[in-house]
């Protein structure tokens, strides 16, 4: 018999077995340290990009594992993810061979059901030697040198952070036994009190920002990122850096600049999405030297590859932190960034080899007019600009969206049915008299269409449809992520009209279709964006149809509109 199998069998015989297994329910409420604000214009709680203060909010999608504390190693009892209220109820099954019963605790893992983990760098035995090597090579590495795979693997080493509760036995009578741990605040019982370099605090805050970013991206795009890691105490590299599927933040950097580090979260997740859509790991290693460089938004001396990679991630950050105010038909909180400028008065620095200009082009494609000189000539639509046809009722929702309501007659579900009012006059019924079968009462239905509800009484179907803007064809609808599907722009003759905007999934789709062949903004413009925009004459990003877009784009990159 092989030695390893023999040892495993002996260990199994020597280990105590649970002779008093119990079934019970484990409960907890988990809270995250969140940075949020509530703009007066919307009344909707959104991310506070200042990241200077935080409060506890229910932590959704966080993995909680129940374990029984045992002398040799702890027994697994069950696991689940928290719901939208931060609550978890886990059917648990475990017990002790000796004693009165299990002493259970919960392990709140910084692992999200959306596919990422927040944790720490998984140090090995030769950490001191590794750190010395990296400190000596840091200047070369950040200057675009080729990164050996062993170095990359070392930096990607990751261990998920976890918060451990106290131990307690299940309580109750009979089969109804519960281990209730109550409220658990990840990052410590009093977030904000601990020192700035407390890894527990960092992990808690980093998890919330990453979860917030991923929730926004999942609502906006059908594409999904690969499983990725976020390490908050990497040994070097300074600013947050994405190494394919791992985002690393230097220990000292998080301690000295937590606001900047947390603000960069959706940017780094944008890199993960790009890496997922663009290539596999081996191809990424060939692109990596271009990415491992210090940079600024308006730099002009970097690789074209780099400008697209960083500009795309900047666009994702703008998208995550921005929200649309339907009441006032405008973007709020974090205005999408425009092109790079220099001098006084500021003038735009043209070129698609500048990452800020890549960001600006993508923002203009997705958000609509973002530049002051184009916004000035287009009045933002307001609820009062939308009307309804005669014979309908105008409805203005709490979010500012205007809709029209029209009553419609109820129909019999049977073609030979006859409508009657029931005995109390409250609901129409459908009576069918057949010569072969006994008379039958059938169900009634509303006409096809956007029916909100059926009221009590005769002819009581309600159909709701979008209101019409004073400018023809103006019916912007709310997409899944809360953004509008259309924007106002001027055509070649200077006449205002409505133009369609792409979904975030369309933008991600351009990257996916190019795969490893696409590295530059010019490639994506000529092969993906421009054909998509020109495939319908009412798309805003076609500069031939929407002059507003073309004027702005010609200043940023004069060679692209042709």
pLDDT at 194 over 50: no
Residue 264's pLDDT band (cuts 50, 70, 90): very high
Q: Which pLDDT score is estimated for 384? A: 87
* Three-state DSSP state, 418: strand
| Adjacency order of strands within the sheet including 428-432 | 418-421, 428-432, 440-442
Q: Which pLDDT score is estimated for 25? A: 93
Q: Which pLDDT score is estimated for 481? A: 82
Residue 270's pLDDT band (cuts 50, 70, 90): very high
- Higher-pLDDT residue of 158 and 38 is 158
- Higher-pLDDT residue of 1 and 508 is 508
* 8 Å CB contact between 355 and 307: yes
Residue 61's pLDDT band (cuts 50, 70, 90): very high
pLDDT at 129 over 80: no
Q: Which pLDDT score is estimated for 555? A: 81
3-state secondary structure 250-280: EHHHHHHCHHHHHHCHHHHHHHHHHHHHHCC
What is the average pLDDT score of the chain? 81
Percent of the residues in the chain that have a pLDDT greater than 90, as a whole number: 35
pLDDT at 510 over 70: yes
pLDDT at 376 over 90: no
The CA dihedral of 327, 329, 334, 336, to the nearest 10 degrees, is 170
Matching residue, tokens 């932590």: 59
pLDDT tens readout for residues 511-524? 999 999 988 898 99
Percent of the residues in the chain that have a pLDDT greater than 70, as a whole number: 78
* Three-state DSSP state, 161: coil
- Higher-pLDDT residue of 352 and 64 is 64
Residue 225's pLDDT band (cuts 50, 70, 90): very high
- Where would I find the H helices in 2-52? 3-14
Residue 502's pLDDT band (cuts 50, 70, 90): very high
Q: Which pLDDT score is estimated for 509? A: 95
Between 144-153, 168-177, 443-452, the lowest mean confidence (pLDDT) is in: 443-452
* Three-state DSSP state, 358: helix
Q: Which pLDDT score is estimated for 263? A: 92
* Three-state DSSP state, 175: coil
> What value, to the nearest 5°, has the Cα angle with vertex 475 and ends 473 and 481?
140
pLDDT tens readout for residues 30-51? 999 999 888 776 777 888 888 8
Structure-block tokens of residue 416: 């030979």
**DSSP letter at 16?**
P
pLDDT tens readout for residues 524-551? 999 999 999 999 889 999 888 898 898 8
Residue 314's pLDDT band (cuts 50, 70, 90): very high
Residue 421's pLDDT band (cuts 50, 70, 90): low
Q: Which pLDDT score is estimated for 17? A: 45
**DSSP letter at 401?**
-
- Higher-pLDDT residue of 453 and 496 is 496
Beta bridge partners of 331: 324
Q: Which pLDDT score is estimated for 15? A: 46
Between 75-89, 270-284, 306-320, 328-342, the lowest mean confidence (pLDDT) is in: 328-342
Distances (CA, A) of 293 to 250, 305, 306: 15, 12, 9
Matching residue, tokens 């997740």: 269
pLDDT at 439 over 80: no
pLDDT at 327 over 60: yes
- Higher-pLDDT residue of 458 and 501 is 501
Between 225-234, 295-304, 371-380, 394-403, the lowest mean confidence (pLDDT) is in: 295-304
pLDDT at 456 over 70: no
Q: Which pLDDT score is estimated for 13? A: 40
Q: Which pLDDT score is estimated for 447? A: 64
The C-alpha atoms of residue 230 and residue 239 are separated, in whole angstroms, by: 13
Q: Which pLDDT score is estimated for 210? A: 96
Q: Which pLDDT score is estimated for 247? A: 94
């Amino acid at each position: 018999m092989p030695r390893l199998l023999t040892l495993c069998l002996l260990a199994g015989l020597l280990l105590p077995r649970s002779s008093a297994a119990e079934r019970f329910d484990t409960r907890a409420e988990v809270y995250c340290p969140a940075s949020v604000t509530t703009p007066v214009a919307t009344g909707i709680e959104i991310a506070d990009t200042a990241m200077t203060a935080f409060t506890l909010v229910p932590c959704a999608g966080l993995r909680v594992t129940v374990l029984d504390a045992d002398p040799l190693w702890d027994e697994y009892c069950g696991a689940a993810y928290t719901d939208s209220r931060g609550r978890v109820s886990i059917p648990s099954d475990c017990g002790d061979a000796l004693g009165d019963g299990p002493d259970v605790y919960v392990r709140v893992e910084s692992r999200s059901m959306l596919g990422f983990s927040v944790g720490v760098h998984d140090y090995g035995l030769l950490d001191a030697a590794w750190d010395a090597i990296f400190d000596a090579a840091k200047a070369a590495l950040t200057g675009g040198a080729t990164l050996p795979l062993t170095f990359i693997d070392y930096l990607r080493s990751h261990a998920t952070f976890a918060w451990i509760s106290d131990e307690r036995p299940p309580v109750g009578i009979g089969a109804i036994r519960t281990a209730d741990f109550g409220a658990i605040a990840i990052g410590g019982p009093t977030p904000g009190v601990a020192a700035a370099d407390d890894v527990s605090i960092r992990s808690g805050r980093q998890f919330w920002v990453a979860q917030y970013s991923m929730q926004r991206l999942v609502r906006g795009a059908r594409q999904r990122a690969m499983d990725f890691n976020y390490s908050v105490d990497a040994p070097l590299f300074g600013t947050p850096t994405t190494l394919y599927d791992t985002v690393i933040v230097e220990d000292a950097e998080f301690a000295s600049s937590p606001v900047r580090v947390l603000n960069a979260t959706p940017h780094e997740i944008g890199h993960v999405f790009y890496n997922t859509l663009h290539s596999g790991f081996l191809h990424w290693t060939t692109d990596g030297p271009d990415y491992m460089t210090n940079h600024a938004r308006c730099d002009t001396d970097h690789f074209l590859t780099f400008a697209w990679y960083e500009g795309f991630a900047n666009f994702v950050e703008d998208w995550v932190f921005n929200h649309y105010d339907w009441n006032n038909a405008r973007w709020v909180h974090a205005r999408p960034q425009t092109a790079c400028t220099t001098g006084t008065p500021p003038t735009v620095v043209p070129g698609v080899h500048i990452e800020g200009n890549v960001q600006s082009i993508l923002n203009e494609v997705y958000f609509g007019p973002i530049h002051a000189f184009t916004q000035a000539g287009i009045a933002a639509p307001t609820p009062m600009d939308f009307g309804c046809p005669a014979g309908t009722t105008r409805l203005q929702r709490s979010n500012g969206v205007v809709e029209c309501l029209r009553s419609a007659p109820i129909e019999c579900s049977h073609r030979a049915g006859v409508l009657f009012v029931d005995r109390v006059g409250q609901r129409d019924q459908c009576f069918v008299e057949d010569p072969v079968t006994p008379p039958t009462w059938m169900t009634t239905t509303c006409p096809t269409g956007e029916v909100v509800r059926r009221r009590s009484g005769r002819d009581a179907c309600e159909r709701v449809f979008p209101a019409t803007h004073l400018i023809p064809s103006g019916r912007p609808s709310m997409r899944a992520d809360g953004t509008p599907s259309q924007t106002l722009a001027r055509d070649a003759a200077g006449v205002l009209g409505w133009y369609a905007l792409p979904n975030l999934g369309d933008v991600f789709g351009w990257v996916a279709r190019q795969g490893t062949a696409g590295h530059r903004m010019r490639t994506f413009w000529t092969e993906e964006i421009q054909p998509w925009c020109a495939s319908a004459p009412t798309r805003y990003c076609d500069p031939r149809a929407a002059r507003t877009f073309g004027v702005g784009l010609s200043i940023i990159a004069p060679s692209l509109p042709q």
